[in-house]
């Protein structure tokens, strides 16, 4: 079974631009979560989608948004990029039950210049 | 709010020696606990999880962890370190009601030949 895939793997953007990252979960998984990883703040939860609905949200500004499609694929968008948005963005998928582990993709490395 | 503290941002052991990575959590309800490993330029891989069954949990690659409620700890151990164990390790706790992981700051494990 194929794992979680994320595209693109690397991205360079300029301050003020917007960016869209994509995540394809493991087949059959209905929950997709997004995390931001930075050297200073570590791993932080952004949001989780389940059956096309945002089920949980972390403490990030409204510039960070996401959505999930009927095939469970998910996208996250960051508008008006800031230098501090440079990070590894990780997507994780799971079957969705609260006790079930999440499987992570390789991440998208975003650099904002 | 739940939180995780990993004692020691960097641990160095000799090949063949015992590996002990410490994790303490704070939770108002019985938690679900996880250990993940991250190799350079990769996503997170699940090592093991605790979901209120056996307190001693065995994972992949010879790792195991023991849940101690009285000490609010979930330390990760491996009897004999291998060079391939060099990576960053993250302890995480999840809210029973959500697919949301709260991570510790991570411990970088170095194996000396």
What residues of chain B lie within 8 A of the CB of A31, using their CB? Answer: 99
Tens digits of pLDDT across chain B (113 residues): 788 999 999 999 999 999 999 999 987 777 889 999 999 888 999 999 988 778 899 999 999 999 998 999 999 999 999 999 999 999 999 865 667 899 999 999 999 99
Output the pLDDT for position B99: 77
pLDDT at B29: 73
> In which residue ranges of chain A is pLDDT below 70?
1, 98-99
HEC string of A8-46?
A: CCEEEECCCCCEEEEEECCCCCCEEEEEEEECCCEEEEE
Closest CA to A81 of A108, A61, A57: A61
* Residues 6 or more apart in contact with residue B108 via CB below 8 angstroms: B9, B10, B11, B87, B88, B89
pLDDT tens digits along B83-111 = 999 999 999 998 656 678 999 999 999 99
Comparing alpha-carbon positions, the chain A residue that sits nearest to B39 is: A106
N- to C-terminal Cα separation, chain A: 37
Q: In chain A, which residue's Cα lies nearest the Cα of B50?
A: A99
Nearest in space to B109 (alpha carbons), one of B81, B80, B67: B81
* pLDDT score for A26: 95
CB contact under 8 A, B102 and A56: no
Phi-psi region of A23 (alpha: psi -120 to 50; beta: other; left: phi over 0): beta
Please report how many Cα atoms fall inside a 13 Å half-sphere around the Cα of residue B21, on the Cβ side. 33
> Any chain A CB within 8 A of the CB of B102?
yes
Residue A96 makes CB contacts below 8 A (sequence gap 6+) with A29, A30, A31, A50, A51, B99
Predicted pLDDT of residue A71: 94
Of A81, A59, A93, the residue nearest A11 (C-alpha): A81
- Please state, in angstroms and rounded to a whole number, the distance separating the CA atoms of residues B85 and B16: 11
B59 touches chain A (CB under 8 A): no
Residue A70: CB atoms within 10 Å: 7
Q: What pLDDT does residue B31 have? A: 81
**Interchain CB contact of B9 with A (< 8 Å):** no
Give the pLDDT confidence score for residue A62 in this predicted structure: 96
**Taking CB atoms and an 8 Å cut-off, how many pairs form between chains A and B?**
63
């Amino acid at each position: 079974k194929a794992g979680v895939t994320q595209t693109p793997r690397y991205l360079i953007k300029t301050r003020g631009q917007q960016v869209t990252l994509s995540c394809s979960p493991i087949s059959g998984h209905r929950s997709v979560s997004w995390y931001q990883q930075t050297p200073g703040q570590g791993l932080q939860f952004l949001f989780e989608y389940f059956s096309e609905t945002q089920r949980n949200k972390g403490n990030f500004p409204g510039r960070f948004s996401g959505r999930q499609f009927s095939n469970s694929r998910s996208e996250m968008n960051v508008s008006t990029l800031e230098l501090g948005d440079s990070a590894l963005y990780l997507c994780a998928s799971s079957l969705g039950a609260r006790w079930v582990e999440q499987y992570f993709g390789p991440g998208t490395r975003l650099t904002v210049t | 709010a739940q939180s995780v503290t990993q004692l020691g941002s960097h641990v160095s052991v000799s090949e063949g020696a015992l590996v002990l990575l410490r994790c303490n959590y704070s939770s108002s309800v019985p938690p679900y606990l996880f250990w993940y490993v991250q190799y350079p330029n990769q996503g997170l891989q699940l090592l093991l999880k605790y979901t209120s069954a056996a307190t001693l949990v065995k994972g992949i690659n010879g790792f195991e962890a023991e849940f101690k409620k009285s000490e609010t700890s979930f330390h990760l151990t491996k009897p004999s370190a291998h060079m391939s164990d060099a990576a960053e390790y993250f302890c995480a706790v999840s809210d029973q009601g959500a697919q949301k992981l709260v991570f510790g700051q991570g411990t970088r494990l170095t194996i000396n030949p």
